[in-house]
Structure 1
Amino acid sequence: MTQEERDEIKVRIETSIHTLKEQIAILEEKVKPIAPDCSLGRLTRLEAMGEQHVNNKIMDESKLRLTRLTNALLRIDKPMLGICIECEEPIKIERMRIRPESVRCVECANLL
Protein backbone atom coordinates (compact mmCIF):
# COMPACT_ATOMS: atom_id res chain seq x y z
CA MET A 1 0.00 0.00 0.00
CA THR A 2 1.40 3.37 -0.99
CA GLN A 3 1.67 6.31 1.40
CA GLU A 4 -0.99 8.15 -0.61
CA GLU A 5 -3.39 5.21 -0.15
CA ARG A 6 -2.58 5.11 3.59
CA ASP A 7 -3.34 8.82 3.85
CA GLU A 8 -6.64 8.30 2.04
CA ILE A 9 -7.55 5.40 4.34
CA LYS A 10 -6.61 7.48 7.40
CA VAL A 11 -8.96 10.27 6.31
CA ARG A 12 -11.75 7.73 5.73
CA ILE A 13 -11.18 6.21 9.17
CA GLU A 14 -11.21 9.60 10.90
CA THR A 15 -14.37 10.63 9.05
CA SER A 16 -16.08 7.35 9.92
CA ILE A 17 -15.07 7.66 13.58
CA HIS A 18 -16.52 11.18 13.74
CA THR A 19 -19.77 10.05 12.07
CA LEU A 20 -20.12 7.01 14.33
CA LYS A 21 -19.60 9.08 17.48
CA GLU A 22 -22.42 11.40 16.39
CA GLN A 23 -24.65 8.43 15.52
CA ILE A 24 -23.97 6.76 18.88
CA ALA A 25 -24.83 9.98 20.75
CA ILE A 26 -28.18 10.14 18.94
CA LEU A 27 -28.88 6.46 19.57
CA GLU A 28 -28.08 6.80 23.28
CA GLU A 29 -30.95 9.28 23.51
CA LYS A 30 -33.29 6.91 21.67
CA VAL A 31 -32.56 3.89 23.84
CA LYS A 32 -33.28 5.51 27.18
CA PRO A 33 -35.77 3.46 29.19
CA ILE A 34 -39.45 4.10 28.59
CA ALA A 35 -41.04 5.22 31.84
CA PRO A 36 -43.87 2.92 32.97
CA ASP A 37 -46.04 5.93 33.79
CA CYS A 38 -45.60 7.31 30.26
CA SER A 39 -49.06 7.83 28.76
CA LEU A 40 -48.69 5.61 25.73
CA GLY A 41 -51.32 3.18 24.60
CA ARG A 42 -50.54 -0.55 24.88
CA LEU A 43 -49.72 -1.02 21.18
CA THR A 44 -47.80 2.24 20.96
CA ARG A 45 -45.78 1.19 24.02
CA LEU A 46 -44.98 -2.18 22.42
CA GLU A 47 -43.95 -0.44 19.21
CA ALA A 48 -41.72 1.94 21.17
CA MET A 49 -40.12 -1.00 22.96
CA GLY A 50 -39.55 -2.77 19.63
CA GLU A 51 -37.98 0.36 18.17
CA GLN A 52 -35.83 0.70 21.29
CA HIS A 53 -34.60 -2.89 20.81
CA VAL A 54 -33.66 -2.18 17.18
CA ASN A 55 -31.85 1.02 18.19
CA ASN A 56 -29.95 -0.89 20.90
CA LYS A 57 -28.77 -3.40 18.29
CA ILE A 58 -27.68 -0.62 15.92
CA MET A 59 -25.88 1.14 18.77
CA ASP A 60 -24.03 -2.06 19.77
CA GLU A 61 -22.91 -2.62 16.17
CA SER A 62 -21.87 1.03 15.87
CA LYS A 63 -19.78 0.81 19.05
CA LEU A 64 -18.11 -2.37 17.78
CA ARG A 65 -17.27 -0.71 14.46
CA LEU A 66 -15.99 2.36 16.30
CA THR A 67 -13.61 0.15 18.29
CA ARG A 68 -12.41 -1.56 15.12
CA LEU A 69 -11.88 1.76 13.35
CA THR A 70 -9.98 3.13 16.34
CA ASN A 71 -7.74 0.06 16.27
CA ALA A 72 -7.22 0.50 12.52
CA LEU A 73 -6.19 4.12 13.13
CA LEU A 74 -3.56 2.88 15.60
CA ARG A 75 -2.22 0.54 12.88
CA ILE A 76 -2.26 3.14 10.09
CA ASP A 77 1.53 3.61 9.99
CA LYS A 78 2.39 -0.03 10.61
CA PRO A 79 3.25 -2.38 7.76
CA MET A 80 0.55 -4.86 8.82
CA LEU A 81 -2.25 -2.48 7.76
CA GLY A 82 -3.85 -3.89 4.64
CA ILE A 83 -2.40 -7.38 5.13
CA CYS A 84 -4.83 -10.25 5.68
CA ILE A 85 -4.36 -11.91 9.08
CA GLU A 86 -5.32 -15.29 7.61
CA CYS A 87 -3.46 -15.67 4.30
CA GLU A 88 -1.00 -12.76 4.79
CA GLU A 89 -1.75 -11.44 1.31
CA PRO A 90 -2.48 -7.75 0.68
CA ILE A 91 -6.12 -6.72 1.11
CA LYS A 92 -7.36 -4.98 -2.03
CA ILE A 93 -7.44 -1.21 -1.73
CA GLU A 94 -11.07 -1.18 -2.87
CA ARG A 95 -12.04 -3.19 0.21
CA MET A 96 -9.94 -0.96 2.45
CA ARG A 97 -11.71 2.10 1.04
CA ILE A 98 -15.11 0.63 1.90
CA ARG A 99 -14.21 -1.09 5.20
CA PRO A 100 -10.93 0.46 6.39
CA GLU A 101 -11.08 -1.61 9.57
CA SER A 102 -10.79 -4.85 7.56
CA VAL A 103 -8.19 -7.33 8.77
CA ARG A 104 -9.13 -10.08 6.30
CA CYS A 105 -9.29 -10.14 2.52
CA VAL A 106 -12.65 -10.88 0.89
CA GLU A 107 -11.75 -14.51 0.23
CA CYS A 108 -10.72 -15.21 3.85
CA ALA A 109 -13.67 -13.22 5.25
CA ASN A 110 -16.05 -15.35 3.21
CA LEU A 111 -14.63 -18.51 4.78
CA LEU A 112 -15.78 -17.45 8.25
Structure 2
Amino acid sequence: MTQEEKENIRTKIEEDIETLKEQISTLEEKVKPISPDCSLGRLTRLEAMGEQHVNNKILDESKVRLTRLRNALLRIDKPMFGICIECEEEIGTGRMSVRPESVRCVACAGNH
Protein backbone atom coordinates (compact mmCIF):
# COMPACT_ATOMS: atom_id res chain seq x y z
CA MET A 1 0.00 0.00 0.00
CA THR A 2 1.45 3.36 -0.99
CA GLN A 3 1.77 6.29 1.38
CA GLU A 4 -0.80 8.23 -0.67
CA GLU A 5 -3.30 5.37 -0.32
CA LYS A 6 -2.68 5.32 3.43
CA GLU A 7 -3.28 9.08 3.63
CA ASN A 8 -6.56 8.68 1.73
CA ILE A 9 -7.59 5.92 4.12
CA ARG A 10 -6.55 8.05 7.11
CA THR A 11 -8.81 10.84 5.84
CA LYS A 12 -11.66 8.34 5.36
CA ILE A 13 -11.18 7.00 8.91
CA GLU A 14 -11.23 10.51 10.39
CA GLU A 15 -14.39 11.39 8.41
CA ASP A 16 -16.08 8.15 9.46
CA ILE A 17 -15.17 8.78 13.11
CA GLU A 18 -16.76 12.24 13.01
CA THR A 19 -19.89 10.89 11.30
CA LEU A 20 -20.20 8.09 13.86
CA LYS A 21 -19.79 10.50 16.78
CA GLU A 22 -22.70 12.56 15.44
CA GLN A 23 -24.78 9.42 14.82
CA ILE A 24 -24.06 8.11 18.31
CA SER A 25 -25.06 11.43 19.84
CA THR A 26 -28.36 11.40 17.93
CA LEU A 27 -29.04 7.77 18.81
CA GLU A 28 -28.34 8.36 22.50
CA GLU A 29 -31.16 10.90 22.49
CA LYS A 30 -33.50 8.44 20.76
CA VAL A 31 -32.89 5.60 23.21
CA LYS A 32 -33.74 7.50 26.35
CA PRO A 33 -36.40 5.67 28.37
CA ILE A 34 -40.03 6.27 27.43
CA SER A 35 -41.86 7.41 30.52
CA PRO A 36 -44.93 5.33 31.46
CA ASP A 37 -47.09 8.42 31.82
CA CYS A 38 -46.29 9.48 28.26
CA SER A 39 -49.49 10.47 26.46
CA LEU A 40 -49.02 7.93 23.67
CA GLY A 41 -51.69 5.39 22.84
CA ARG A 42 -51.01 1.73 23.63
CA LEU A 43 -50.00 0.77 20.06
CA THR A 44 -48.02 3.95 19.54
CA ARG A 45 -46.18 3.27 22.80
CA LEU A 46 -45.37 -0.29 21.67
CA GLU A 47 -44.14 1.05 18.33
CA ALA A 48 -41.97 3.61 20.13
CA MET A 49 -40.52 0.85 22.31
CA GLY A 50 -39.82 -1.28 19.21
CA GLU A 51 -38.12 1.65 17.53
CA GLN A 52 -36.13 2.26 20.70
CA HIS A 53 -34.94 -1.36 20.63
CA VAL A 54 -33.80 -1.00 16.99
CA ASN A 55 -32.02 2.26 17.82
CA ASN A 56 -30.27 0.56 20.76
CA LYS A 57 -28.95 -2.12 18.40
CA ILE A 58 -27.72 0.49 15.91
CA LEU A 59 -26.15 2.46 18.77
CA ASP A 60 -24.27 -0.62 19.99
CA GLU A 61 -23.01 -1.42 16.48
CA SER A 62 -21.98 2.22 15.95
CA LYS A 63 -19.96 2.22 19.18
CA VAL A 64 -18.19 -1.00 18.17
CA ARG A 65 -17.35 0.42 14.72
CA LEU A 66 -16.11 3.66 16.31
CA THR A 67 -13.72 1.66 18.50
CA ARG A 68 -12.51 -0.32 15.48
CA LEU A 69 -11.95 2.87 13.47
CA ARG A 70 -9.99 4.44 16.32
CA ASN A 71 -7.86 1.30 16.52
CA ALA A 72 -7.30 1.40 12.75
CA LEU A 73 -6.14 5.00 13.07
CA LEU A 74 -3.59 3.89 15.67
CA ARG A 75 -2.38 1.05 13.40
CA ILE A 76 -2.27 2.93 10.10
CA ASP A 77 1.45 3.76 10.29
CA LYS A 78 2.43 0.23 11.32
CA PRO A 79 3.86 -2.09 8.63
CA MET A 80 1.10 -4.69 9.14
CA PHE A 81 -1.71 -2.21 8.39
CA GLY A 82 -3.65 -3.42 5.38
CA ILE A 83 -2.34 -6.98 5.76
CA CYS A 84 -4.84 -9.78 6.43
CA ILE A 85 -4.43 -11.33 9.87
CA GLU A 86 -5.42 -14.75 8.47
CA CYS A 87 -3.54 -15.25 5.19
CA GLU A 88 -1.07 -12.36 5.56
CA GLU A 89 -1.83 -11.13 2.04
CA GLU A 90 -2.48 -7.46 1.33
CA ILE A 91 -6.09 -6.38 1.81
CA GLY A 92 -7.31 -4.69 -1.35
CA THR A 93 -7.35 -0.89 -1.33
CA GLY A 94 -10.98 -0.99 -2.47
CA ARG A 95 -11.98 -2.85 0.68
CA MET A 96 -9.81 -0.62 2.85
CA SER A 97 -11.40 2.46 1.28
CA VAL A 98 -14.89 1.23 2.18
CA ARG A 99 -14.14 -0.47 5.53
CA PRO A 100 -10.80 0.95 6.71
CA GLU A 101 -11.11 -0.95 10.00
CA SER A 102 -10.85 -4.27 8.13
CA VAL A 103 -8.25 -6.72 9.41
CA ARG A 104 -9.16 -9.54 6.98
CA CYS A 105 -9.25 -9.71 3.19
CA VAL A 106 -12.56 -10.45 1.50
CA ALA A 107 -11.78 -14.17 1.10
CA CYS A 108 -10.80 -14.67 4.74
CA ALA A 109 -13.68 -12.51 6.01
CA GLY A 110 -16.06 -14.74 4.05
CA ASN A 111 -14.57 -17.84 5.68
CA HIS A 112 -14.64 -16.35 9.16
Q: Normalising TM by the smaller chain, what interval?
A: over 0.9
1:28 maps to: 28
Return the alpha-carbon distance in structure 2 between the equivalents of residues 43 and 73 of structure 1.
45
Return the alpha-carbon distance in structure 2 between the equivalents of residues 18 and 80 of structure 1.
25
Kindly provide the CA deviation profile for residues 3-61 of structure 1, in whole angstroms up to 9, marking residues without a partner as x. 00000000000000000000000000000000011111000000000000000000000
Q: Note the residue ranges of structure 1 that are not aligned, 5 or more in a row.
A: none
2:77 maps to: 77
Q: Does 1:40 align with 2:37?
A: no
Q: Which residue identity does 1:55 align to in structure 2?
A: N
- CA drift at 1:78: 0.5
Q: Which segments of structure 1 move beyond 2 Å, counting only runs of 4 or more?
A: none
Return the alpha-carbon distance in structure 1 between the equivalents of residues 60 and 40 of structure 2.
26
Q: Which residue identity does 1:56 align to in structure 2?
A: N
2:90 maps to: 90
Q: Does 1:7 align with 2:14?
A: no
Q: What is the TM-score of this pair, normalised by structure 2?
A: 0.99
- CA drift at 1:110: 0.2
| SS class of match (1:100) | coil
Identity of aligned residues (%): 77
Q: Which residue identity does 2:37 align to in structure 1?
A: D
Q: What is the TM-score of this pair, normalised by structure 1?
A: 0.99
Q: Which residue identity does 1:5 align to in structure 2?
A: E
RMSD of aligned C-alpha atoms?
0.4
User: How many residue pairs are counted as aligned between the two chains?
Assistant: 112
